[in-house]
Chains A and B, each alone.
Chain A
Amino acid sequence: MTSLTSTRARIDWSGIAFAVLLTLVIIGPLVVVATWAFTEVWRYPNIIPQKFGFRFWGQTLGRPDVWNALMLSLKLSTVVTLLSALICLPAAYAFARMKFPGRDILFFSFLAGHAFPKFGLLVAIAAIFLQLNLIGTFWGVVLIQLVGTLMFMIWIPVAAFQAVDRRMEEAARDVGASPLRVFWSITLPQAGPTIFAAVLLSFVGTFYETEGAWLIGAPGIRTMPVLMISYINNQMVIQYGAVLSVLLWVPSFIALMFARRVIGGGAFARGFGG
């Protein structure tokens, strides 16, 4: 009895402190930005805006460059993710399941792009792309963003394929399934949720990728984040940037909600070898 009441009465103060701190740090800026997006007049020293409204939404969404950038970003993310899946998933399966000469070096080379300071690497690549006439082109940006997805799309699926119990695959062979059928009916569904997480991460990551898109894509290719940066840098009106940033929450929010439903918490952790 006493132990029951004592556990009920004990409050986890350090846990609450962490939760409050995290809330302040994460939610705080989001609230400020969201507030700005719906503000028409907000002058110092008022704590809340004098006038709320949708005027700047209308203005921002009325601009053709915003719509072009949004469509471009969606197209870019889709193409990059599909290409990445096409290249990386078979490679990940090979890394996870097959033995071949140079396997470890190849595996490492896939990740080497992340071992250097990214901007230096981008500038070097930009120099090469300049000679290949890829600067300012759609496919130039696709290529540079592909590099960025390699880590997610190799590492996580490799871990996912390795985590599939070999006995499960053998049991499927035993009941009469061909190797291809085993892959389709057993290996892929077992690794599926984790691989889906990787695809989602790479889509969202590509959507928000800025440095590569800016360095390689400018001036012809302007993705949503690049457009947002130019708004923040060049416009005196804060609201344009705020409205765009609220808009940019939408894909990641949808992705996260979707991910939670489809995957459940364990798959991400498993993908990272947890």
Chain B
Amino acid sequence: MSVLHIAEVTKTFSGGTHAVNSFSLDVADGELVCLLGPSGSGKSTLLRMVGGFEQPTSGRITIDGEDVTHLPPERRPTGMVFQSHALWTHMNVFKNLAFGLKLRRMPAGEIREKVEAVLELVGLAGYGDRMTNQLSGGQQQRVALARSLVLEPKILLLDEPFASLDQHLRERLREEVRDIQQRLGITTLFVTHGQDEALSMADRIVVMANGKTEQMGRPDVVYRDPKTPFVAGFIGTMNLVEGEVTNGQFTRSDFTFPLPIADGPATLAIRPEALDLTASDTPKATVHRVTDYGSHGLVDLDLADGTRLKSMVAHPDLFRTGQGVDLKPRAVAAYRNNQQIFRS
């Protein structure tokens, strides 16, 4: 049972900028929570505070009820996997993994057993004698993961661990890491700016912006029901159209849509897959470009005032550049003052 509890943590850098601003989060036992946000959102600073590499300006961090806020990294029950993997290049794989166990004064025989078991776990059995620079990028990242896992930390911290790997490897490794994490049932905090990584791995995601939580929840829920325009624009592709509502009618350029909310400015959010196109005598938009991805197509559209929209279509060959089309949104959400005020 390992529970991470972050309460009202604030980190202010010299100069007064709030890297993290009164942030709270509870991570349940065995849960994998993804901190997702653009660079500068404070997600890495937060992770480094949990690991002990940064000191919070205020707030408390507890692990299983024990206050670790002011403990140095070497006395915290956390294990961190760095983006640059940070393997010790002057040691071979075995020594990299054994270093932490040796510090704990474990007998040599036991160390050997543990290291071999964890190498087996990450799929690198028999690689103990290799020097780290003889390994591929993916193997190095696996060793870095093993180095943390071998110490059986209560909380596993992953700081954009796949950022330096190519797309193919990244997808394979995140499946592997997810498998291992679930098999060991280890409580995990994962930082990434890649939304597909967050959506595919996390039990829960926390979307961060400017050091604060924008939205927290299950990946599918956050994707389907973003509560702020920032989340709507950050997770997945989203058409965000700013316009005016008058008498229950949203208007932007020639495009209108019935919206039963009070009069005033509003931002309409439509997923490309929820925006259907039909041929029309009174076109609302012009096709700018059609891209055929094989399995589906993506149509770029321009409203009369130049606003660019995207629509996902099943048959891209039905559309060509310059063609006038009508827009039929199937599902929309509307935002005003950074709050969701309508959802269909």
Contact = CB atoms under 8 A, between A and B. Distances in A.
Q: Are A and B associated in one complex? A: yes
B82 A170 contact: yes
Interface stretch (B3-11, B71-79, B164-172, B312-320): B71-79
B89 A174 contact: no
Nearest to B79: A174
A232 interface: no
Nearest to A192: B90
A175 B152 CA distance: 10
A186 B90 CA distance: 8
B88 A173 contact: no
A147 B24 CA distance: 56
Contacts of B79: 174-175
Contacts of B99: 172, 175, 177, 185
Contacts, number: 65
B82 A176 contact: no
B49 to A, nearest CB: 13
A174 B51 contact: yes
Contacts of B87: 168, 171
A167 B84 contact: yes
Contact of B88 (A168, A176, A178): A168
A97 interface: no
Categorize the interface residue count of chain A.
10 to 19
Interface in B23-58: 51-53
A65 interface: no
A175 B88 contact: no
Nearest to B82: A167
Interface in A77-109: none
A205 B139 CA distance: 44
A118 B75 CA distance: 52
B84 A173 contact: no
A175 B151 contact: yes
B86 interface: yes
Contacts of B89: 168, 190
B103 to A, nearest CB: 5
Interface in A165-223: 165, 167-168, 170-178, 181, 185-186, 189-190, 192
B82 to A, nearest CB: 5
Categorize the interface residue count of chain B.
20 to 34
A122 B72 CA distance: 49
Interface in A143-175: 165, 167-168, 170-175
Interface string A17-56: 0000000000000000000000000000000000000000
A176 B100 contact: yes
Contact of A170 (B53, B100, B103, B147): B53
Nearest to B72: A173
Interface string B144-156: 1001100100000
Contacts of B74: 173-178
A171 B82 contact: yes
Interface in B71-129: 72-75, 78-80, 82-84, 86-90, 99-100, 103-104
B115 to A, nearest CB: 13
Interface string B329-344: 0000000000000000
A183 B249 CA distance: 67
Given A170-B53, A170-B86, A176 B151 contact: yes
Given A172-B99, A174-B74, A165 B90 contact: no
A177 B99 CA distance: 9
A178 B71 CA distance: 12
B266 to A, nearest CB: 45
A165 B147 contact: no
A186 B88 contact: yes
A172 B151 contact: no
B170 to A, nearest CB: 20
Contact of B78 (A174, A177, A189): A174
Given A165-B86, A176-B151, A171 B80 contact: yes
A186 B73 CA distance: 16
Interface of B: 51-53, 72-75, 78-80, 82-84, 86-90, 99-100, 103-104, 144, 147-148, 151
30 contacts: A165-B86, A167-B83, A168-B89, A170-B53, A170-B82, A170-B86, A171-B80, A171-B82, A171-B86, A171-B147, A172-B88, A173-B52, A173-B53, A173-B72, A173-B73, A174-B51, A174-B74, A174-B80, A175-B100, A175-B147, A175-B148, A176-B74, A176-B104, A176-B151, A177-B99, A177-B103, A178-B74, A186-B88, A190-B88, A190-B90
Interface of A: 165, 167-168, 170-178, 181, 185-186, 189-190, 192
**What 4 A-B pairs are tightest by C-beta distance, nearest first?**
A175-B100, A167-B86, A173-B73, A171-B86
Given A174-B51, A177-B100, 4 more contacts: A175-B151, A181-B103, A190-B88, A190-B89
